[in-house]
Amino acid sequence: MPKDKATAPSSDFIRNIVAEDLKADKNKGRIVTRFPPEPNGYLHIGHAKSICLNFGIASENEGGVCHLRFDDTDPSKEEVEYVESIKSDVRWLGFDWDDHIYYASDYFEKLYEYAEQLIKNGKAYICSLSAQEIREYRGTLTEPGKDSPYRNRSEEENLNLFRRMRAGEFGEGSHVLRAKIDMTSPNLNMRDPTIYRVRRVPHHRTGDKWCIYPMYDFAHCLSDSIEGITHSLCTLEFEDHRPLYDWILDQLNVDCHPQQIEFARLNLSHTMMSKRRLLELVEEGYVSGWDDPRIPTLAGLRRRGYTPESIRNFCERIGVAKRDSTVDIALLEHTLREDLNKRSPRVMGVLRPLRVVIDNYPENQVEELDAINNPEDPGMGTRKIPFSRVLYIERDDFREDPPKKFFRLAPGREVRLRYAYFVRCVCVVRDEKTGEVTELHCTYDPQTRGGDSPDGRKVKATLHWVSAAHSLEAEVRLYDHLFLKPNPGDESDGNDFKASLNSNSLETLTSCRVEPSLRGSTPGSIYQFERQGYFCVDSVDSSAEALVFNRTVTLRDTWARIEKTQKKNKGATIGDKN
């Protein structure tokens, strides 16, 4: 449960159902939800929506419980590494399952018994068609399917074959167990779906014990039932599976029949959330790993500098609805800025340094100037920053030929150095060969210490800077959207999501200079580099000797602009909240 939950989330259609059920004393007033990841990849921000919903509902209702259940029924794609990462990501987001951690694989024996029960009830049979034939027999949306020739095997024969499947007598694909429902059902999921198959793959928890594994639709509803789940919340693509969920539980006459409720999955623009595709990016080296700061995994977002609070706030803000939509990634960044603005100390860091010599400043003098750590939070105090004769400013903050409305430094012009003095550019030094500006000479006005002029003189720009001798060198990684298009992999990409990968999504700057207060910053610390954005110390590659920062997000808020236009075009919504 979030420790710092300020307000209860506003209601939504699922919370309304839960409230109604409580009022009607359904399930004897119990509320039990679950978050059921398959350990075949790292969690992404879409999962965060589901986590916030499931753990949220449990925590908002007295006695409510949310289970963390690993849906580990497909050993070919699942790994312990994923189990561990999922646990740490859920904790990092701020939720706690207490003792309620479960594994579908712990139910394999029970699930097997349920399957035998179905056979005994005449509701399941062993089908010996090939996978290809099964597909052909299934029919299409417009044509009914055909009964399998094996559909009327006797109970005895079915049991015998099923037991031999379990005993390992058959190879993969030779036989499957199918539910006996209706090959003419308009719902394809009800056309005798496969519920067990042979898989000769060891499982990361059960080892070689099993060579048959239950299918998702069979395992999921029964796992929910075994655990006494009251509300089984899943994404919309399972809506068509609900009749099967209910059918299986009805046939087996179980004590607990949870209610499946579907909600819209989170889609985010300029990125992509399928675990299969993320795995592809990781395995093929498009990104550095599951925690690459450009991908929307929780591990990536954490390394990028996202806080759990910002992600929870985002999930609350987008709400929960039944209609699919794509949320602009700018909203996620906006929510992040709101959070970082409050919590991050301000510092000065120069990304692309340009040397500045203050000609009239005494050669060996160093002044310690007062700087405010966070104007939003006086409690965060002040610090000292050294000022000396040689400084670095941002290369972008100087133009030899300033265009109209460029108010920063230019030959002859005076600007303010933050917390320091007014300086005026008196001379530009150029590389003889390339003509590139290599150094500026300025003069300072000693009367303007602290940044104000006693004679009321005004300047139009305030620049950040660092003292050359005192500053620390740092590497800074600038990130941009992973994809160039809001909707990667749509028809215009020929459905190839990699076609619109942004080849400039990472820019690495190696000779940046940051103020000395950053010496020894701990990995993960987040700062606002004044005028630049929010940056966090990289948790993997940064060290005391070689600082590495990730740009978490810039200061420029595109969401504010989007929202303004949305308000103008009345009727538009934030996220999928209705």
Q: Which is nearer to Mg ion, 38 or 445 (CB)?
A: 38
Q: Binding to ligand ATP by residue 76, rule CB under 6 A? A: no
Helix (H/G/I), strand (E/B), else coil: 229: coil
Nearest CA to 356 among 424, 433, 407, 450? 424
Residue least distant from Mg ion (Cβ): 38
The site partner of 266 among Mg ion, ligand ATP, none (C-beta below 5 to 8 Å per kind) is: ligand ATP
Q: Is 275 assigned a catalytic role?
A: yes
When binding is defined by CB under 6 A, the residue of 87, 265, 399, 531 that contacts ligand ATP is: 265
Contact (CB, 8 A) for 223 and 69: yes
- Map residues 191-230 to x or -, x wherever contact with Mg ion holds by CB under 5 A: ----------------------------------------
Give the HSE-up count for residue 482: Cα atoms under 13 Å, Cβ half-sphere: 27
Q: Choose the stretch contacting Mg ion; rule: CB under 5 A; options: 36-44, 222-230, 265-273, 331-339.
A: 36-44
Q: Which of 257, 275, 337, 389 binds ligand ATP (CB under 6 A)?
A: 275
Interaction between residue 50 and ligand ATP (CB under 6 A): yes
Helix (H) or strand (E) holding 512: strand 506-514
Query: Whole-number minimum distance, CB 27 to ligand ATP, in Å?
Result: 20
Q: Among this protein's residues, is 38 annotated catalytic?
A: yes
Name the minimum Å distance from CB 169 to ligand ATP. 31
By CB under 6 A, tell whether 46 contacts ligand ATP.
yes
* Cβ contact 425:442 at 8 Å: yes
- C-beta closer to ligand ATP: residue 275 or 303: 275
Choices 34-42, 100-108, 137-145, 446-454; region in contact with Mg ion by CB under 5 A:
34-42
Work out which of 9, 36, 193, 308 binds ligand ATP, going by CB under 6 A.
36
Q: Which helix (H) or strand (E) holds 355?
A: strand 353-358
Q: Which stretch binds Mg ion (CB under 5 A): 12-20, 35-43, 323-331, 400-408?
A: 35-43
Shortest distance in whole angstroms from residue 232 CB to ligand ATP: 9
d(CA 311, CA 50) in angstroms, rounded, equals 12
CA-nearest of 42, 66, 463, 532 to 289 is 42
Q: How far is the CB of 212 from ligand ATP (least distance, A)?
A: 21
Provide the token pair at 293: 């700061």
Stretch that binds Mg ion, among 31-39, 304-312, 391-399, 474-482 (CB under 5 A): 31-39
Cβ(237)–Cβ(208) under 8 Å? no
Site string for ligand ATP, 374-403 (x = CB under 6 A): ------------------------------
Of the candidates 5, 30, 265, 355, the residue annotated as catalytic is 265
CB 219 within 8 A of CB 73: yes
Nearest CB to Mg ion, comparing residues 227 and 530: 227
Active site residue 78: no
Cross-strand partners of 478: 507
- Cβ neighbours for 201, distance < 8 A, ≥ 6 positions apart: 75, 76
CA 254 centroid distance within chain = 37
Of 1-9, 35-43, 475-483, 537-545, which part binds ligand ATP (CB under 6 A)? 35-43
Of 50 and 448, CB closest to ligand ATP: 50
Q: Which does 390 bind (CB under 5 to 8 A by kind): ligand ATP, Mg ion, none?
A: none
Residue 274 binds to ligand ATP (criterion: CB under 6 A): yes
| Residue 208: HSE in the Cβ half-sphere, 13 Å Cα cutoff | 2
Active-site residue identified among 34, 69, 275, 551: 275
Distance between CA atoms of residues 227 and 100, nearest Å: 10
Q: Label the pairing between strands 353-358 and 390-394.
A: antiparallel
Q: State the number of binding residues for ligand ATP (CB under 6 A).
A: 15
Rounded to a whole number of angstroms, the CA Rg of the chain reads 30
Minimum distance from CB of 277 to ligand ATP (Å)?
8
Q: Which stretch binds ligand ATP (CB under 6 A): 268-276, 364-372, 508-516, 559-567?
A: 268-276
Stretch touching Mg ion by CB under 5 A, among 33-41, 227-235, 387-395, 396-404: 33-41
- Cβ–Cβ < 8 Å for 161, 175: yes
For 361, list phi and psi in degrees, rounded to 5: -95, 135
**Nearest approach, Cβ of residue 271 and ligand ATP (Å):** 11
Quickly count: other Cβ atoms within 10 Å of residue 106's Cβ. 16
Q: Which does 198 bind (CB under 5 to 8 A by kind): ligand ATP, Mg ion, none?
A: none
Residue 349 interacts, among Mg ion, ligand ATP, none and using kind-specific CB cut-offs from 5 to 8 Å, with none
The answer to whether 127 and 192 have CB atoms below 8 angstroms apart is yes
When asked if residue 234 is in the footprint of ligand ATP (CB under 6 A), the reply is: yes
DSSP-assigned letters across all residues of 286-329: SSSSTT-TTS-BHHHHHHHT--HHHHHHHHHHH---SS-EEE-H
For residues 104 and 79, give the distance between their C-alpha atoms in angstroms, rounded to a whole number. 14
Q: Is 443 in the site for ligand ATP (CB under 6 A)?
A: no
Are 231 and 259 in contact by the 8 Å Cβ rule? The answer is yes
Q: Which residue is nearest to ligand ATP (CB)?
A: 46
Per-residue DSSP letter, 238: G
Cβ–Cβ under 8 Å, residues 489 and 497: yes
Sequence-distant (6+) residues with CB within 8 A of 68 are: 34, 35, 86, 87, 90, 97, 100, 101, 102
C-alpha 366: how far from its chain's center?
45
State in angstroms the smallest separation of the CB of 115 from ligand ATP. Answer: 22
Instruction: Write out the residues near Mg ion by the rule CB under 5 A.
Output: 38
Instruction: Write out the residues near ligand ATP by the rule CB under 6 A.
Output: 36-38, 46-47, 49-50, 234-235, 265-266, 273-276
What residues act catalytically? Answer: 38, 265, 275
